[in-house]
A and B are shown apart, each in its own frame.
Chain A
Amino acid sequence: MIDMLNLYLSFPYVQRAIIVGVLIALCSSLLGVTLVLKRFSYIGDGLSHVAFGAMAVAGILRLSNDMLLVLPITMISAILLLRSGRNTRIKGDAAIAMISVGALAVGYLLLNLFHTSGNLSGDVCTTLFGSMSILTLRPAEVWLCLGLSIAVMILFFVFYNRIFAVTFDEDFARATGTRADAYNLLIATVIAVIIVMAMNLVGSLLISALIIFPAMAAMRLFKSFRSVTICSAVLSVCCALAGLLISILAGTPVGSTIVAADIAAFLACCGVVKLQRRTV
């Protein structure tokens, strides 16, 4: 088995997949706590459906690098969804449901009408569940992913204290002169970037899992914001690595294997907490 792993790891496309996969997992875990506690998790879910619709359009247009279309569309939707969350006339969650299901339906419809490849259901399945698309990344996409994940990490690092403040108590932050709206916008845009990147790794239906599971698991174990953030990043990277290696060896789909690893890590953390309580 070790020999087989060594063989696979010597292929450059496998090495690229592992580097990109680990970076994407790291980025997506950083904003998990914020997403969960600001009740933004539904925005993440809605955006992933929008990204699917955009991906379908990009496929029809035969763009060489579909991220160039998917990324701006998802970012604009993130900003719109954030605005509509405060709109009282159409309730925020209803607006998100409408946009996300709408994008899903229109995306599939367009794919059906204009499909260019012979294997329609295979294409759809790849976009929804990721399957092997991480292994077929072109060098340009790899560089884009690298650049974006470094940008996300730098943004998170520089604005760490602001993100904490805006997540913990938005009114207080605003009252002491922090531009909370600007930071909400920043958070939503970064989420959009993460979702577009993560589509390559786990597919659009499973992205929320990648963002939320590590954060929820870390929140069971740790008590400070900093240790929760670090723990969720470590967990997410380990699960992504384990999921990638297992899927390469066992031939299972990459996305669902990674998410299964995330679920296992979450359950393990719950178990650890239960055991701690019993011994105290």
Chain B
Amino acid sequence: MTAVDPVRQKRGKRVDGSLFFFILLSGAICFESYNLGLGTLSNPAPGLFPFLTGAILGFLSILWLVINLLPGGPWGWLNISISWGRVVPMLGGLFLYSIILDFLGFALATFLLVLALLKGIERKSWVSSSMVAIGISIFSYIVFRIWLRVQLPEGFLGI
């Protein structure tokens, strides 16, 4: 019977999909860097340094994989739970916000973003969402536009 490695048991052996992502990424980095040209050691070309970073990244990823797959106790696939129902709408909202910012202007775009976040993700009522959205829009406008004088788009409303 193989003794269980107490260090690995304490840390928990785990393998997850990110390692395969980084292995693929390192391959892509090395490939693209090679195309940029590696030059020579005495005259390094633009591709040498990124090639080395890609190679080291790949080596470290494979090393981690090997360490966790060595015999000495069970290993498991790390299960990650991602709240796509919240992450996607939030990032999508930010993406749309940045697109409409120039057209609608900062004040209106901010109001719509906050309203969408509170109503869509936090499931607050229309009244509280609207009140908080108005409050945050005004506060942000005062801070950025008036106090810090940051150049912000005015949009078709001119505010």
Q: Are A and B subunits of one complex?
A: no
